[in-house]
Structure 1
Amino acid sequence: MPRLFTGLEIPSDISEKLSSLRGGLPGARWIDPENYHVTLRFIGDIDGLAANEIASTLFRINRKPFEVELQGLQSFGGKKPRAVVACVVPSRPLMELQSELERLMQRFGLDPEGRKFIPHVTLARLRDASDRDVADYLSLRGYFPKRTFMASRFVLFSSRTSVGGGPYVVEAPYALSA
């Protein structure tokens, strides 16, 4: 039973810049740079037949390529931080693509995504990291200058059931070329 999600891949030059921010935070489990991505819609563990139907349906999405802008770092989780992420600036084309994917997945019978979509690239998952350590890390490394790339496709990723962080496999690419 594959665990699936849709997302945008991060170009290698930007992944390299992001990977230079690794280290210096107790309790952080750093994501390997080849697994950096922007999750658009988590699908979950589904059977092979449903996975094939979803993969076929995603070809119907007809959108133009668009710019994706990353800038700055932050943490998720407030007083109990659970991740350090690179921020992705929400743009209209990005948000519309994510909304279309959300609607498609609900038509397949998946529950609506429970959290508001906040585009980001997870750099580290945190376990027992204090909010003070995270604040110190962000004050030292939180400045991440703007990096932009053109999203010319989104992909269907699969992952093994694990504690997160990959490895992720591209199951199918979907061109953005309307």
Structure 2
Amino acid sequence: MPRLFVALEISRDAALRLSMLKGGLPCARWIDQENYHITLRFIGDVDARFADEAVAALDRIEAPAFEVQLAGLDAFGSRKPHSIYAGVSPNPALEALQGDVDRALRRIGLAPDPKKFTPHVTLARLRQPKSEEVARYLSGRGDFRSEPFRASRFVLFSSKDSVGGGPYLVEEAFELMPERGASSGGGTIRESIAAAWR
């Protein structure tokens, strides 16, 4: 059963810059460049009926495209760091889109997310890290900043990997634009998820 989540994709230029931050941390398991993303809402393991309902709910969201800029590196897990991530500059349009996505999915029965939304791109997961090594890595790269890039769509990703980190597959894409029509397509989720389950 695929695991679903909603996210923004990262531009190629930003992903390339992020990939250049790899190395210098022995405890890190680095995320592949093609799997970088900004999670908007985790859905989890669901059946095909709920997946179809999720696509229909997400397809009704109308929101404008906007600029995104990545800024700064940090770690999740203060006393025992477990992952390294790139942050996102404050962005009201991103916050608004995330709220729309969250409300749309809760309306069809998804449980509220207990975690506060912290937009980020996960770069590495850490195995038995030494806090001083993580601090040293971050101190040398904390001024990271990408060029702004345009978020013109958000996507529904799936993953079969229970560990995390990819590979991720785009199941559906939802265009962001002021004049967005009533439908951006949403009829292929049955086929793609059915294929993933076979």
Q: Could you state the TM-score of these two structures normalised by the residue count of structure 2?
A: 0.87
In the other structure, the counterpart of 2:126 is: 126
Tell me the distance in 1 between the aligned counterparts of 2:177 and 2:83. Answer: 33
Cα offset for 1:161?
3.4
In the other structure, the counterpart of 2:195 is: none
Unaligned stretches of 5+ in structure 2? 179-198
Deviations 1:49-82 (A, max 9, x none): 1111111221101011011111111111101001
Matched residues, percent identical?
A: 55
3-state SS of the aligned residue for 2:138? Answer: helix
The structure that is strand-richer by fraction is 1
Cα offset for 1:130?
1.5
Cα offset for 1:23?
0.9
Alpha-carbon contact 1:5-1:41 (below 8 Å) kept: yes
Cα offset for 1:8?
0.4
In the other structure, the counterpart of 2:34 is: 34
Tell me the distance in 2 between the aligned counterparts of 1:89 and 1:10. Answer: 14
In the other structure, the counterpart of 1:17 is: 17
In the other structure, the counterpart of 2:147 is: 147
Tell me the distance in 2 between the aligned counterparts of 1:161 and 1:20. Answer: 24
2:52 is the counterpart of 1:52: yes
Tell me the distance in 1 between the aligned counterparts of 2:44 and 2:165. Answer: 15
Structure whose CA Rg is larger:
2
| Aligned-residue RMSD, C-alpha | 1.0
- Pairwise mapping of residues 74-85 of structure 1 onto structure 2 (< 5 A)? 74-85=74-85
3-state SS of the aligned residue for 1:161? Answer: coil
In the other structure, the counterpart of 1:135 is: 135
Aligned residues: 178
3-state SS of the aligned residue for 2:139? Answer: helix
Tell me the distance in 2 between the aligned counterparts of 1:111 and 1:54. Answer: 13
Tell me the distance in 2 between the aligned counterparts of 1:83 and 1:50. Answer: 30
Deviations 1:78-131 (A, max 9, x none): 010011101112311100110111111111211111110000000001111111
Match for 1:30: what amino acid? W
Deviations 1:145-172 (A, max 9, x none): 2421110000000011321100000001
Tell me the distance in 2 between the aligned counterparts of 1:167 and 1:4. Answer: 12
Cα offset for 1:142?
2.3
In the other structure, the counterpart of 1:66 is: 66
Alpha-carbon contact 1:72-1:146 (below 8 Å) kept: no
3-state SS of the aligned residue for 1:101? Answer: helix
Unaligned stretches of 5+ in structure 1? none
